[in-house]
């Protein structure tokens, strides 16, 4: 997976504008009858509100020790219980099956290949209770936006430069102070293929967190899949 620990020190600033996903994932967690698991839990930005709203312990997995340290501090400050584990989502293995596995803030795009994502989807499917859900969001790639932003420096939300490698379906985000994080985008059909090969079923696909219909103008995939 692509993650540079240099990003951990600026993550709160980087993610400050992303708030609309929290009620969405909290809502799914409140409907879940069983264990809750967050992949790429990061600093607990979503897991802490989920644990607070549900009164349940959330199992959070991440490859970044620095992000997990932040999550522990945030959980302690909020007075909630997170079971935080350092690990790779491609190796997901649970002691008991989950009612909900979710992966917010486009974190599945840190996986560079379709094979990597297939492995995650298959591990998630094997880790869900019958009827359990897998939810995630990812941006819908726009070539016009890529052409406009390629090589551009921006100070918001933190000083950084974007580079697009269209032939590799990759975006590189490089902070001014050092540290590069890469994302590999996927099409709707690729996501649907992953759902299919994992033996899951699409419950819903929306173009935003307020259940907006997914259309040609949508710039975000918001998926919920279910284990039959």
Q: How far apart are CA 33 and CA 150, in angstroms?
A: 44
CA distances for 168 relative to 86, 118, 165, 189, angstroms = 28, 18, 5, 17
pLDDT in tens, 109-139: 999 999 999 999 999 999 999 999 999 999 9
State residue 79's pLDDT score. Answer: 98
Sequence spans of domains, the chain: 5-139+186-226
What is the pLDDT, as a whole number, of residue 157? 95
**pTM (2 decimals)?**
0.97
Given this model, what pLDDT does residue 219 score?
A: 96
Q: What is the pLDDT of residue 178?
A: 86
Stretches in the chain below the pLDDT threshold 50: none
**What fold characterizes domain 5-139+186-226?**
Rossmann fold (3.40.50)
């Amino acid at each position: 997976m692509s993650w540079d620990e240099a990003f951990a020190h600026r993550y709160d600033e980087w993610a400050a504008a992303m708030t609309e996903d929290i009620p969405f994932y909290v809502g799914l967690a409140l409907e879940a009858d069983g264990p809750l698991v967050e992949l790429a839990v990061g600093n607990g930005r979503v897991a802490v509100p989920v644990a607070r709203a549900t009164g349940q312990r959330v199992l959070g997995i991440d490859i970044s020790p620095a992000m997990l340290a932040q999550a522990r501090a945030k959980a302690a400050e909020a007075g909630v219980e997170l079971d935080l584990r350092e690990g790779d989502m491609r190796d997901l293995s649970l002691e008991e099956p989950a009612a909900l596995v979710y992966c917010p803030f486009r974190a599945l795009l840190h996986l560079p290949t379709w094979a990597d994502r297939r492995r995650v989807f298959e591990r998630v499917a094997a880790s869900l209770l019958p009827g359990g859900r897998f939810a995630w969001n990812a941006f819908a790639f726009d070539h016009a936006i890529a052409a406009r932003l390629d090589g551009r420096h921006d100070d918001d939300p933190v000083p950084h430069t974007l580079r697009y490698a269209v032939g590799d379906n990759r975006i590189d985000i490089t902070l001014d102070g050092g540290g590069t994080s890469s994302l590999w985008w996927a099409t709707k059909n690729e996501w649907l293929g992953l759902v299919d090969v994992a033996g899951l079923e699409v419950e819903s696909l929306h173009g935003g967190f307020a259940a907006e219909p997914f259309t040609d103008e949508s710039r975000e995939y918001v998926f919920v899949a279910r284990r039959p």
